[in-house]
Amino acid sequence: MDFSVRIAAVRKQMGLSQEEFSELVNMSRRTVAAWESGDRTPSFSTLSDVADTLNVSVDFLLGRTDEQNKKQPAMKNGGLLDAIIARVQDLPDSALPFVSAYLDGIQTGREIAQADAADPDPDAGSVR
């Protein structure tokens, strides 16, 4: 199966029209139609963007493999990052701003969790 057949098949699997897909990859519908008819092929950089948009590898689009889905790169720290990402993906949308703010604090050197533990609220538990 060549590029033109694969790109059309994956686009259709995603339920996208040529017009919708063309907007996602910032190309005209005529360009996408030319790719799918085999009249044209995208540049290397565009091919990478197309693969990312379709969530397939460039090798799949080029017919070098029949494995359609991208493999995730190996994560560092023995899978800890995988576990953290999975936990964040399971959070409700309302929690994501808090996670983002926490990560911002860590990146800027403000250690939120340690600061809270090291400096307990002196009024906590007291009766007024």
CATH 3.10.129.10 fits 3-61, yes or no: no
C-alpha to C-alpha distance for 128 and 116, rounded to whole angstroms: 22
Q: What is the domain partition of the chain in residue ranges?
A: 3-61, 77-118
* Residue pLDDT, tens place only, 104-126: 888 887 655 544 444 445 444 44
* Residue pLDDT, tens place only, 32-63: 999 999 999 899 889 988 888 888 888 888 88
C-alpha to C-alpha distance for 124 and 128, rounded to whole angstroms: 11
Say if residue 74's pLDDT is above 70: no
pTM above 0.75, yes or no: no
What's the pLDDT at 118?
A: 44
What's the pLDDT at 34?
A: 96
